[in-house]
Structures are given as structure tokens and as C-alpha cells.
Amino acid sequence: MKQPEEQQDRSYQNSLYPEDQAKVDEFLKRGVNSVERKPFRPFYMILLLIGSVTILSFVSQWIARAAGIY
């Protein structure tokens, strides 16, 4: 059974009035939101994390050997 249009879920639709949507669009075009950014590269981030953890591991091993603990 089909529901009346006013009772249907409208969460996927734009629920702002046109003047409010214009304000939102204007806000998104200024300040920090207007800066074009490079695309996010998760593979590069993973490589940086692996590299930094590896370097810190070697440094901690070197400190342990220099202190005579290991």
C-alpha cells in the first residue's frame, strides 16, 4: 500500500527553503571551505605510518643497546 506523499520519508530530498539553501551554498564558497585540496591518498598515509613506526623502532632498539639493556 502506497503512503500519501506528505507521509513518505523525505530524508533524501532537500528540506531547506531556497533562501536557506542559498545561504548554505554561500557559506561553503568562502573561507576554509573554498580552498581546493589535493585528493586524499590513503596509501601514502599508510606508507608514512609504516615508515615512522619502523624508524622509531630502530631508534628505540639502538637506545636499548647503547644503555646495555638489550
Quick check: is 4 in a domain? no
Q: Whole domain around residue 53: which residue ranges?
A: 41-70
pLDDT for the residue 54: 98
The per-residue DSSP string of the chain comes to -PPPGGGS--TTS--S-HHHHHHHHHHHTSGGGGS--PPP-HHHHHHHHHHHHHHHHHHHHHHHHHTT--
pLDDT for the residue 27: 86
Quick check: is 10 in a domain? no
**pTM of the full predicted structure?**
0.50
Q: Looking at the 3D structure of the chain, how many domains does it have?
A: 1
pLDDT for the residue 18: 87
pLDDT digits (tens, 9 = 90+) for 4-58: 555 555 555 667 888 988 998 888 888 776 777 889 999 999 999 999 999 999 9
Distance CA 52, CA 46 (A): 10
pLDDT for the residue 1: 52
Quick check: is 20 in a domain? no
Quick check: is 9 in a domain? no
Comparing 59 with 21, the larger pLDDT belongs to 59
